[in-house]
Chains A and B, each alone.
Chain A
Amino acid sequence: GESVGLHLPTLSVQEGDNSIINCAYSNSASDYFIWYKQESGKGPQFIIDIRSNMDKRQGQRVTVLLNKTVKHLSLQIAATQPGDSAVYFCAENYGGATNKLIFGTGTLLAVQP
């Protein structure tokens, strides 16, 4: 069968609170970053992206911050809802023209009602 997986870092928050999920990326030459949400048994779903010429980008209830100096990315979710419960992956584009991605290890967000 399948090999035993790692235990994902977990962030537990109360419904209505803000969530911050952090990610360290590896390649200083990466110029494009994406956050994906993956619910159990489903494929990753695009949330928000940011290019290296920006420090911050906002979407609906989500904000991504990019700190190139320390190679750090964060995802902020405002007013977290039970439907936000999922695994969140950051990904960096290391493939240039072919948009190849390296995914971070993932964080499990558990929203408590």
Chain B
Amino acid sequence: DAMVIQNPRYQVTQFGKPVTLSCSQTLNHNVMYWYQQKSSQAPKLLFHYYDKDFNNEADTPDNFQSRRPNTSFCFLDIRSPGLGDAAMYLCATSRVPDEQFFGPGTRLTVL
């Protein structure tokens, strides 16, 4: 089935050690989004790609970067993870103006 895939599902990293989370989609959607979701909170948009155009939210820390090498893949890079970056990271895709489809998320633990 067409879907949004995130790898790994669980990621453990050390304080300050760079980490990359991966998202791929088989939906051929033109927009891909990255969200951060902390416990018992709503997803918070970090940035999105509209085709190849990168759009950063104003309050997204510089510590978070993203790459989209092609339509299917999008990566979230956390350059120096802090304890406060421990969260669920959700990838979503959409074909505007329709709804966003979410992946299962990657649970990041920072030790």
A residues neighboring B (CB under 8 Å): 1-8, 32, 34, 36, 41-46, 49, 89, 93, 97-106
Contact = CB atoms under 8 A, between A and B. Distances in A.
A42 B104 contact: yes
Contacts of B109: 1
Given A89-B42, A105-B42, A1 B102 contact: no
Contact of B48 (A5, A100, A104): A100
Contacts of A99: 31, 94, 96-98, 100
B102 A104 contact: no
A2 B38 contact: yes
Q: How large is the interface on B (under 10, 10 to 19, 20 to 34, 35 or more residues)?
A: 35 or more
B42 A49 contact: no
A55 B103 CA distance: 30
Contact of A5 (B40, B96, B101, B102): B40
B88 to A, nearest CB: 8
Interface of B: 4, 6, 31, 33, 38-45, 48, 50, 55, 83-84, 86-87, 90, 92, 94, 96-105, 107, 109-110
A36 B92 CA distance: 13
Given A98-B48, A99-B94, A100-B45, A8 B40 contact: yes
Contacts of A43: 4, 6, 90, 92, 102-105
Nearest to B55: A98
Nearest to A103: B42
